[in-house]
Amino acid sequence: MPAYPVDQQYDTYRDFQRRAGARPDEWLFVCAYGIGDTYMTCGLAMAFKDQMARRGAPGRLAVAVKKSQIEVARLFEPLIDRIVAFEAVDLEALFRFSRFEPGQPIIAHPFHYGDGRLCHWLTREGVHLLDLHRFMMDLPFDAMPAPPVVPADQRQAARARLEGWGLPRGRTVLLAPHAYSTATLPLGFWNTLTARLKAAGWEVVLNVDPRFPVTVEGARPIEFPLGEALPVADHCGWVISSRSGLTDILSTTRARLSVLYPRFADGWGQSWNPRTAYDLAAMGLRPGCEQHVAVIDGDWAPVLDALLAGPNGAPSTDASPTDASPTGAP
């Protein structure tokens, strides 16, 4: 049963169409979930337009994104014909009346595909989140997202911000503890990691997420827009992050990228295994990505030792391939 009368829900749907400027000759994908989902949808824009051109279907593509994620969409601005920002959207109204055709606001997330069972495929061996986005966009399973391009104004803003911070290039570790897609490691883990990194000669900074206010002992807090994440990471030289949408954006960074998958001793605490469902290497976003499983309520020493030893000095703690990137000492 709808939460309110069908005619009111249809009016809400039509209102969003009008506000988004939906056109009969243009596909409109609505990115209303996480940063990573927006990144994948926008990254696949060119593959989608090429596919539609081969079928003789309209080839224009627009994305409607959360206002807070417009800079993610701008990373793919040359590939997207139009970007629309919104503050809020009634997904149930869109889901009820939209169809997969031009002019319709199509929700770009598996939670709103059919009856939601598409997400269950993440429990199948070899299936990951990028596969689901390919399926929702009716793309071949070898379609790859285009690499992001940081707009010139964002790169200039990042350069000015970095000069103000005075961080040593290539000798700074950027910590990014927070994620929606996975659990979070305790503050004690990040405090211990920071102490060991500083003892090894690294400058350590903490990505400040206003949604998760936290202080890590010894780590200098910094804040930057999503559109500046790549130049900031490139300058720092090393990023250690929980698996999150930020790591999708940073998958093409020139810096060493160490991705953590927190889990509990008795399991992942969710229906599917994030280590396989969100695997950056398996998706092809960062081949050979350095990835570690870290037990939240267990012994952190193996992960800490592997991080400080560096990918060339010790294997990843879950035996996955590693980056050909700097070792654990600056």
pLDDT at position 152 is 93
pLDDT at position 330 is 54
Distance of CA 231 to the CA centre of its chain: 16
pLDDT digits (tens, 9 = 90+) for 70-93: 999 999 999 999 999 999 899 999
Least confident of 82-96, 133-147, 174-188, 301-315: 301-315
Domains of the chain: 6-136 (no CATH), 156-309 (3.40.50.2000)
Least confident of 58-72, 123-137, 267-281, 312-326: 312-326
pLDDT digits (tens, 9 = 90+) for 152-209: 999 999 999 999 999 999 999 999 999 888 888 999 999 999 999 999 999 999 999 8
Instruction: Report the b/e string of 84-110 with b at 16+ CB within 10 A.
Output: bebeebbbebbbebbeeebebbbbbbb
- C-alpha dihedral sign at 8, 12, 13, 19: positive
CA-to-CA distance for 225 and 119, rounded, in angstroms? 30
CA-to-CA distance for 252 and 271, rounded, in angstroms? 29
CA-to-CA distance for 277 and 126, rounded, in angstroms? 8
Token pair for 219 = 């780590």
Phi/psi at 37 (nearest 5 deg)?
Answer: -65, -40
- Read off the pLDDT band of 321 (50, 70, 90): very low
Write the Ramachandran bin of 264: left for phi over 0, alpha for psi from -120 to 50, otherwise beta: beta
Least confident of 103-117, 143-157, 193-207, 306-320: 306-320
- C-alpha dihedral sign at 246, 164, 202, 253: positive
Token pair for 183 = 């659990």
Token pair for 255 = 């810096």
SS3 assignment, position 143? coil
Q: Are 266 and 298 in contact (CB under 8 A)?
A: no
- Please provide the distance, in angstroms rounded to a whole number, between the alpha carbons at the two ends of the chain: 59
Token pair for 81 = 């014909």
CA-to-CA distance for 21 and 2, rounded, in angstroms? 26
Token pair for 129 = 């989140």
| Residue 13: count of CB within 10 angstroms of its CB | 19
Tell whether pTM > 0.85: yes
